[in-house]
Amino acid sequence: MLAKGYHTLQSVIVTITQRLHPTLWRTCRVLANRNRLRIFGCLLQQPDQTVTAVANRLRLPVAVASQYLRALEARSLLVARRKGRYVSYRVSDDERAGAVEALVAALRTVFQREHDPITTVFKLATAFTHPRRVAVVQALAGGARTLQELHDRTDISFPALMRHLAKLEARGLMMRGNGIYVLVPQRAPLPRALATMACE
């Protein structure tokens, strides 16, 4: 009876955690789009561009560019500024020591240093586009876990859990050995920022 109650409590905690920490997976869903990443890179090179300017430069329909710009702004990755009848966008330059600011700084670094930044960001972002993968990372943040322990802590079915673990492992965020799963310490700015956001 106590075991059943504990299992139910764990399920409630996981559900509440997912509701209270929507920022990462929602932000990563925005980042997991190559055209939105092209827009981000474009605004890093030339800030304060209007929707029309971005659309023309990247050869996108104006309506699509507008939608993508608003999505990036909604996740605090861009800042919109109105000048008369026009709205211009730039990459957020807020220097407060918050999670989103750390993510923007990491994205800047990737776009400045990587040969193919869009592929790099896309691959890492897709690791966190599902709240269940965030829950798995949170469970692993407390230390190495067996598959059974991860199942007990996340209440994710074993087949789904295996899929989520495989995706995290393929992106170098987790490794397994002898039936034990553990997070890989991240030194590069972007995966470190994402892992930090997942564990907050």
Tens digit of each residue's pLDDT (9 = 90 or more) over 85-129:
889 999 998 665 577 899 999 999 999 999 999 999 999 999 999
Residues 195 and 133 in one domain: yes
Token pair, residue 29, equals 């869903």
Least-confidence region, from 20-29, 42-51, 138-147, 162-171: 20-29
| Number of domains composing the chain | 2
Residues 70 and 102 in one domain: no
- In the three-class reduction of DSSP (H, G, I as helix; E, B as strand; rest coil), residue 146 is classed as strand
Token pair, residue 61, equals 């329909």
155: left (phi over 0), alpha (psi -120 to 50) or beta: left
Give the whole-angstrom CA distance, residue 49 versus residue 90: 7
Residues 123 and 181 in one domain: yes
Residues 106 and 79 in one domain: no
Least-confidence region, from 4-18, 20-34, 44-58: 4-18
Whether residue 170 lies inside any domain: the answer is yes
Q: What is the CATH number of the domain that holds 47?
A: 1.10.10.10
**Residue 66 lies in domain:** 33-93
Residues 126 and 63 in one domain: no
Last residue of a domain, one of 93, 116, 139: 93
Last residue of a domain, one of 78, 93, 108: 93
Tens digit of each residue's pLDDT (9 = 90 or more) over 137-180:
999 999 999 999 999 999 999 999 999 999 999 999 999 999 99
Tens digit of each residue's pLDDT (9 = 90 or more) over 73-92:
999 999 999 988 889 999 99
- Asked if the model's pLDDT at residue 19 lies above 60, the reply is no
Residues 106 and 199 in one domain: yes
Using CA atoms in the order 89, 64, 133, 10, what is the torsion angle rounded to 10 degrees?
Answer: 90
Verdict on whether the full-model pTM lies above 0.75: yes
In angstroms, the Cα distances linking 111 to 7, 40, 41, 53, 199 are 44, 9, 7, 20, 25
Residues 141 and 88 in one domain: no
Q: Give the pLDDT confidence score for residue 119 in this predicted structure.
A: 98
Residues 86 and 105 in one domain: no
